[in-house]
Structure 1
């Protein structure tokens, strides 16, 4: 019996349409499922940790939306879907703390540390396993909304590659480039490190929840060799479930659920000409199409762009440098409360003012607009 059927009970024969709806429901249930540490009363629900940031996918993506940030009276950062990414300019994680600071732990294990915000800067306290390496950088990451991602996966690779101009041959100052990951085009995550939603889900299970899957088969998540107690901690791997905690069927169902989430609804019926005149559309491509010809008004080219020193975090991920970020889709901005990779901007104008590098010219054009035109542009983006 598969792990998913062990959790949900016996599945009866269904029609294709019913099976489609059932797969979506099962994927959502797995997405919402709060995981527990092993050993649990049923192997279908355990495997959390040993170290983790969240107990479930929905904990980071409430209603499949973006995460939220809270700051306690003592300055400690909390919220859902907010983590501290670790790394270096050469692409390695911290030798002790890995690629993400795990702020929670199962019974018998020690959380890696706590994060505080003071005068706009992060402060890490209570590091449980000693100091970080001198070259380790750290930066906040706020989880992204998930609606419409299935459409982004269906855009032909060649259409996205056609938008790239890594050497800026046309001289417009925009040199977006594709992020190739193991021979596939990266489309998802802040630095386009995941080519598919299945891979992105596997990354999240490992980094955020500490669970093994066909994408990352190690059951200890982000633990390193300098954390021997974590490596020896309990896990939910089982021969019955491919020696994994999230087996192939479960991961496929979660990916199916993500693919079927509808795109955000926009109040705008067509792009505002001012959006292109300022230069926003040079990276935030208003519309692409799926293989079947369906229009995708995500306002992104899905390419990496150098966004300047102000947004640089010094962390290289795969082939994306510390200054490069995938163009964030603007659809769903109407429901967004915080912008940019770490949520530092609380308004569209704040986010624009942080732009630099390839976006410096567009920012200068925006700054030069009259107050009326600035508001027209902001209102348009806020309607997406």
Structure 2
């Protein structure tokens, strides 16, 4: 069978049985591709921005892992994989800067701000379009690892809802609840704002790279009506790609790539019952069943929990309040260097001690362990 793939300028000759492998390879090529601004000599690669955080998916997820933070001699962030989310407690965007700060721009424009970082805290300087609204809050987000996400997508809604207890009916201080997005249960992103990997990838293209997709057909990404110079720039939407910059086939290929990334191998260490004894397992549920009878050992319930004042960011996303976060899966912890949503914690223990709200009791039980038990529990979590 002959398949012509104009978006890469290549012609492949493959039998139909290899279609899935080809979709995966195409998805990886698109995931790795650095996008360019429009107009470009190759329509299949343009559409970047006009405002953006990164030129490619790979830039924010090196080796499909978490982002990194590097600093120049002025303390400005030089790494990729972090973004600054903005918004208010009611769920509204900033009227000028939208829902995310874009620190880069195509030729002729300037990024929206410079971002400095010190000891886990982000500082915004030189806002290009004037001050934010008085009720706008901001918080850092460090990109998450991508391994195993296809298995999380297979977890049934019933399995997620089985662990929800929005009114704390069992009176254990934990009241997890789902984030409902357009009638569907969110399960991806820090506040569970995406019900599927297709939607999550589309959101990332819009917010991080500034490109239109079937999920968000706006060619100008997060640009607002107040940013006239951004809206005056050319875009890369063409009839060849459904009038978009990333059409449904491209987004489908990337989704296939994400769905097929293998999950981290399970740990060989035992927790000696400490994970459950401290209450960590009440939210970081070790295993969830999938629709096809498999078991996903991600250590998450995929629900929202109030994590207290220390981790609150004041930004509502969907049903998630400024104090709520989706339980972060712990698989892949052994490859993690910076923890929590903004990378402020440099160790598992430091991350635990930022926990509050519904996790306060578990944190207290952890800190009351003997030094030997605490060491063994941390060793276990760090092996996941």
Question: What TM-score range do you get, normalising by the shorter chain?
Answer: over 0.9
Q: Tell me, what secondary structure is at the counterpart of 1:321? A: coil
Inter-partner Cα distance in structure 1 for 2:146 and 2:382: 18
Stretch moving more, 212-221 or 115-124: 115-124
Q: Contact 2:86–2:94 (CA<8 Å) still a contact in 1?
A: yes
2:341 maps to which residue? Answer: 341
Shift of 1:5: 3.0
Q: Contact 2:81–2:143 (CA<8 Å) still a contact in 1?
A: yes
Q: Tell me, what secondary structure is at the counterpart of 1:44? A: helix
Q: Tell me, what secondary structure is at the counterpart of 1:376? A: helix
Structure 1 residue 5 corresponds to structure 2 residue 6: yes
1:277 maps to which residue? Answer: 277
1:195 maps to which residue? Answer: 195
Q: Contact 2:213–2:248 (CA<8 Å) still a contact in 1?
A: yes
Shift of 1:268: 2.8
Change in 2 beyond 3 A, CA 1:164/1:4: farther
Inter-partner Cα distance in structure 2 for 1:185 and 1:26: 28
The TM-score with structure 2 as length reference comes to 0.97
Inter-partner Cα distance in structure 1 for 2:187 and 2:284: 14
Change in 2 beyond 3 A, CA 1:198/1:4: farther
Once the two structures are superposed, residues 66-98 of structure 1 have per-residue CA deviations (whole angstroms, 9 ceiling, x without a partner) of 000122221212312111111111111111011
Inter-partner Cα distance in structure 2 for 1:119 and 1:33: 32
1:372 maps to which residue? Answer: 372
2:108 maps to which residue? Answer: 108
Change in 2 beyond 3 A, CA 1:33/1:145: same
1:194-343 alignment runs, 5 A limit: 194-268=194-268, 272-343=272-343
Inter-partner Cα distance in structure 1 for 2:202 and 2:87: 20
Inter-partner Cα distance in structure 2 for 1:76 and 1:107: 21
1:146 maps to which residue? Answer: 146
Inter-partner Cα distance in structure 2 for 1:136 and 1:169: 34
Q: Contact 1:271–1:286 (CA<8 Å) still a contact in 2?
A: no
Shift of 1:254: 0.2
Inter-partner Cα distance in structure 2 for 1:250 and 1:102: 23
1:31-46 alignment runs, 5 A limit: 31-46=31-46
Q: Contact 1:4–1:250 (CA<8 Å) still a contact in 2?
A: no
Q: CA RMSD in A?
A: 1.5
Q: Contact 2:266–2:297 (CA<8 Å) still a contact in 1?
A: no
Stretch moving more, 252-261 or 119-128: 119-128
Q: Contact 2:4–2:11 (CA<8 Å) still a contact in 1?
A: no
Inter-partner Cα distance in structure 2 for 1:5 and 1:283: 46
The TM-score with structure 1 as length reference comes to 0.97
Inter-partner Cα distance in structure 2 for 1:66 and 1:167: 34
Once the two structures are superposed, residues 149-168 of structure 1 have per-residue CA deviations (whole angstroms, 9 ceiling, x without a partner) of 00000011101101000000
1:65 maps to which residue? Answer: 65
Q: Contact 1:61–1:81 (CA<8 Å) still a contact in 2?
A: yes
Once the two structures are superposed, residues 108-138 of structure 1 have per-residue CA deviations (whole angstroms, 9 ceiling, x without a partner) of 1121010113565432112111111111101
Q: Tell me, what secondary structure is at the counterpart of 2:44? A: coil
Shift of 1:269: 5.9
Number of equivalenced pairs = 383
Inter-partner Cα distance in structure 2 for 1:3 and 1:279: 54
Q: Which runs of 5+ in 1 are unaligned?
A: none
Q: Tell me, what secondary structure is at the counterpart of 2:45? A: coil
Inter-partner Cα distance in structure 2 for 1:36 and 1:103: 16
Once the two structures are superposed, residues 172-206 of structure 1 have per-residue CA deviations (whole angstroms, 9 ceiling, x without a partner) of 10100011100111000000000000000000000
Q: Contact 1:115–1:124 (CA<8 Å) still a contact in 2?
A: yes
Q: Tell me, what secondary structure is at the counterpart of 2:275? A: helix
Q: Contact 1:31–1:58 (CA<8 Å) still a contact in 2?
A: yes
Inter-partner Cα distance in structure 1 for 2:372 and 2:119: 33
Q: Tell me, what secondary structure is at the counterpart of 2:353? A: helix
Change in 2 beyond 3 A, CA 1:245/1:363: same
Change in 2 beyond 3 A, CA 1:366/1:3: farther
1:93-132 alignment runs, 5 A limit: 93-118=93-118, 121-132=121-132
2:382 maps to which residue? Answer: 382
Change in 2 beyond 3 A, CA 1:200/1:3: farther
Q: Tell me, what secondary structure is at the counterpart of 1:115? A: strand
Inter-partner Cα distance in structure 1 for 2:189 and 2:87: 16
